[in-house]
Structure 1
Amino acid sequence: MTSSSSKSMLGYFGWAFIVTIAGLVLGGLLGWNMSGTLGGLATAFFICLVLAVLEISLSFDNAIVNANKLKEMTPVWQHRFLTWGIVIAVFGMRIVFPLAIVAIAAHINPWEALKLAAAEPEQYAAIMHDAHLPIAAFGGTFLMMVGLTYFFDREKDVHWIAFVEKAMAQFATVKGIEIAFVLILVLIFTSLLDGEDATTFLHASVYGLLTFLLVEVLSGFLDASQKAMSAAARGGLGAFLYLEILDASFSFDGVIGAFALTQNLFIIAIGLGIGAMYVRSMTIMLVEKGTLAHYRYLEHGAFYAILILSVIMYVQTLMHIPEVITGLGGAALIGISLLSSIRYNKRNGTGHDPAHREPRDRAEA
């Protein structure tokens, strides 16, 4: 991925704008085909638009985390993630994943699940809703491990909320502390659920934890053996797999929440797909313009948002929390971290040079 500091906003979001126009037109046509009225067309058009905004608000922190990981990857693997990755994100998580959930839950094949989505969307949505608990437990656990691993790092010496982050960095010397924290939280929420729900939550959470640990082990193995790999694969495959699973975890909440607006799988795929294109564009812009290097607390805000999202996914197994709260909460944290970064830059006279490195021993409460 070539750096281009002079690239215009349209240059970064050009494809996203094109996909937006095409998606909204296609969504409107689906609405017209289903209802045969202008009202149906307008409703489908509006839902696609709302879903796109929902996806962007829920996934802005995902773009920041992706950018942080991408800057360590080779250009070849950066390109693969931004091409193959977006195909997996849009078609895999927005279409194949819901179909797979319904196929497994209803004990039918994927083709029958697709026909169910088209012919009986109410039943399809009900099956997806029933699958929310294990999905929330799995995704919440994976995301919580992502967030805690960032803060429980004894080498981390740039802190935003200093009294919290310094303490977590010190406790990072205790081996496996983040795993113990997650397991304690899992046991607490398991105790709050009854019967089969408690068992399902516990099993799904353990699978989420094991998935994170397996990805970490695989990444470490690939990094350790990178000298034996081809030049195209060095430093990239482990990070690619990590980002794909991370993207999937971020997508769980949006896919399930979308059924609150519409039960039509295809409108959901269009709306969330539009949003995914903007997340991809934001990721590229963050990497090429060195935004994370200039705004020192922006990454912190994203990981705090991840932790809050993981807790919300846990709480959603007990009660419904509107998706707008989830999205606005994460966006607010990122916005505050951005303002803190700007204030730091003004106080320390930091310019807009992405190559400028901040002193690593400073911290702001």
Structure 2
Amino acid sequence: MILKTYRWSFVVTAVGLVLAAWYGLSAHLGIGQAIALVLILSILEISLSFDNAVVNATILERMSDFWRKIFLSVGIIVAVFGMRLIFPIVLVCVTAGLSPAEVIRLALAGGDPETPGTYGYELHEAHPTIAAFGGMFLLMLFLNFIFGEKEHHWIGPLERLLEKVGKLEYVQVIVAGAVLLIVAESFATEHGRTVLASGLAGIVTYLLVNGLGELFNVEEHLEHGEHHEEGAPARSNGPTPVARATGKAAFFLFLYLEVLDASFSFDGVIGAFAITSDPVIIAIGLGVGAMYIRSMTVHLVEEGTLAQYPYLENGALWAIGALAAILLISIEIEIPEVVTGLIGLAFIVASLISSIRYNRAHPEEAHAETAAAHS
């Protein structure tokens, strides 16, 4: 099972290390140093994005086997080449007003993020745009969870209270808009307009992609004669008892996953410059890590881990809320990546421990969930 699920991750790792060795030799970086940097960056990406794997699994469970394969094939190409290599170059082009050729020249030249005029410096200058978009997109995901109906309540009193507040129409958008205004006016006085525009783009992107996915999901269920009873509870996130999404519904879920991955990758791309300023090494290292995150996502789905550990999804979504807050705060205050990784890990571990305790207290229910997950 492990070999089947992670075989492409192992292949990508081997290819990545060979490319790193070749590049290290040709760029006079040194084979050993290039390989070491790729391994460190891979670990960085995995540690920062494990909660991403859990959240991705809740969405991937709703997709057909075909679209799961697309997620692992086309999706990884977008993740590695799109988000880890091409996107930073495009971002620097837009924010710095430079031509693609000039940005590529700067990227290959490397340079310290503290030195004006270098690729690392220009990318760091674009951080307010990145953090506002990614922070608001992830915040919308988090708010959609805490204000929506849930099968299990991890932080019981608080989650039940927020679930009641969630009955107010458009409460997610109201709260997100208020947060964005506070950040733009208080935390980001030097970048207020940029933060406001990028944050609004993040909110609109979430509403558009998530809304289209839900729209076509509902339409396809109706076409197949599938109806929900009026008043029946429905979870806003995670697996549902309906058939897996296919066609247009799955396509928009796939787009949703890609935007979600992009939002998670922002802090990793920026944080990687604290380790090396070489964009090629960064792309290889983060790309290898991204492949493992995708394999972990599939592993969680196929093993039914989310059903076996009832609070794991809750912990991952609270970790996303923390990451959204960190991204928004980091517009003005620099926060070490190790802090981001540890906070996310703390939520995951805490929810895992709570899930184990719950299963011990309710052994019959835990057995039923495990049997259902493997059926």
TM over 0.5: yes
The one-letter code of the counterpart of 2:370 is P
Over 3 Å counting, the alpha-carbon distance change for 1:321 and 1:16 in structure 2 is same
CA deviation vs aligned residue, 1:75-98 (integer Å, no higher than 9, x gap): 222222221111111111011101
Unaligned runs of 5+ in 2: 113-117, 225-244
Q: Does residue 1:351 correspond to 2:367, yes or no?
A: yes
Which residue pairs with 1:292 in the alignment?
306
Separation (CA, whole Å) in 2 of partners of 1:42 and 1:314: 37
Which residue pairs with 2:157 in the alignment?
163
Which residue pairs with 1:362 in the alignment?
none
Which residue pairs with 2:216 in the alignment?
222
Separation (CA, whole Å) in 2 of partners of 1:73 and 1:79: 10
Over 3 Å counting, the alpha-carbon distance change for 1:344 and 1:271 in structure 2 is same
Over 3 Å counting, the alpha-carbon distance change for 1:201 and 1:335 in structure 2 is same
Over 3 Å counting, the alpha-carbon distance change for 1:353 and 1:323 in structure 2 is same
The one-letter code of the counterpart of 1:92 is G
Separation (CA, whole Å) in 2 of partners of 1:60 and 1:233: 28
Contact 1:294 1:356 (8 Å CA) reproduced = no
Which residue pairs with 2:43 in the alignment?
53
Aligned positions, number? 345
Q: Does residue 1:144 correspond to 2:132, yes or no?
A: no
Contact 2:214 2:249 (8 Å CA) reproduced = no
Which residue pairs with 2:99 in the alignment?
109
Separation (CA, whole Å) in 2 of partners of 1:145 and 1:194: 20
Q: Does residue 1:93 correspond to 2:88, yes or no?
A: no
Q: 2:25 aligns with which of 22, 32, 52?
A: 32
Q: Does residue 1:259 correspond to 2:273, yes or no?
A: yes
The one-letter code of the counterpart of 1:351 is H
CA deviation vs aligned residue, 1:52-104 (integer Å, no higher than 9, x gap): 01100111111111111111112222222221111111111011101101221
CA shift, 1:149, in A, is: 0.2
CA deviation vs aligned residue, 1:253-310 (integer Å, no higher than 9, x gap): 1111111111111000010011011101101111111111111001111000000000
Which residue pairs with 1:335 in the alignment?
349
CA shift, 1:111, in A, is: 3.5
SS at match of 2:276: coil
Contact 2:17 2:38 (8 Å CA) reproduced = yes
Contact 2:188 2:332 (8 Å CA) reproduced = no
Contact 1:125 1:263 (8 Å CA) reproduced = yes
Q: Does residue 1:233 correspond to 2:247, yes or no?
A: yes
Separation (CA, whole Å) in 2 of partners of 1:52 and 1:34: 20
**What is the identity percentage for the equivalent residue pairs of Structure 1 and Structure 2?**
45
Separation (CA, whole Å) in 2 of partners of 1:197 and 1:250: 22
Separation (CA, whole Å) in 1 of partners of 2:262 and 2:110: 26
Superposition map of 1:261-340 within 5 A:
261-340=275-354
CA shift, 1:34, in A, is: 2.4
Separation (CA, whole Å) in 2 of partners of 1:175 and 1:232: 29
SS at match of 2:275: coil
Separation (CA, whole Å) in 2 of partners of 1:292 and 1:319: 35
SS at match of 2:333: coil
Contact 1:190 1:198 (8 Å CA) reproduced = yes
Deviates more, 1:20-29 or 1:303-312: 20-29
Separation (CA, whole Å) in 2 of partners of 1:314 and 1:71: 30
CA deviation vs aligned residue, 1:110-133 (integer Å, no higher than 9, x gap): 343222211354411111000001
Contact 1:290 1:355 (8 Å CA) reproduced = no
Superposition map of 1:72-221 within 5 A:
72-122=62-112, 123-153=118-148, 155-193=149-187, 195-221=189-215
Separation (CA, whole Å) in 2 of partners of 1:253 and 1:228: 41
TM-score, normalising length: structure 2: 0.87
Unaligned runs of 5+ in 1: 1-6, 358-365
Which residue pairs with 2:231 in the alignment?
none
SS at match of 1:262: coil
SS at match of 1:307: helix
SS at match of 1:320: coil
SS at match of 2:249: coil
Over 3 Å counting, the alpha-carbon distance change for 1:48 and 1:120 in structure 2 is closer
CA deviation vs aligned residue, 1:161-215 (integer Å, no higher than 9, x gap): 1011101111111111121212222222222246541121111111111111111
CA deviation vs aligned residue, 1:323-357 (integer Å, no higher than 9, x gap): 11111210121011111111111121133863448
Which stretches of structure 1, 4 residues or longer, exceed 6 Å deviation after superposition? none
Separation (CA, whole Å) in 2 of partners of 1:250 and 1:274: 15
CA shift, 1:41, in A, is: 3.0
Contact 1:128 1:256 (8 Å CA) reproduced = yes
* Aligned residues: CA RMSD: 2.0
Contact 1:294 1:352 (8 Å CA) reproduced = no
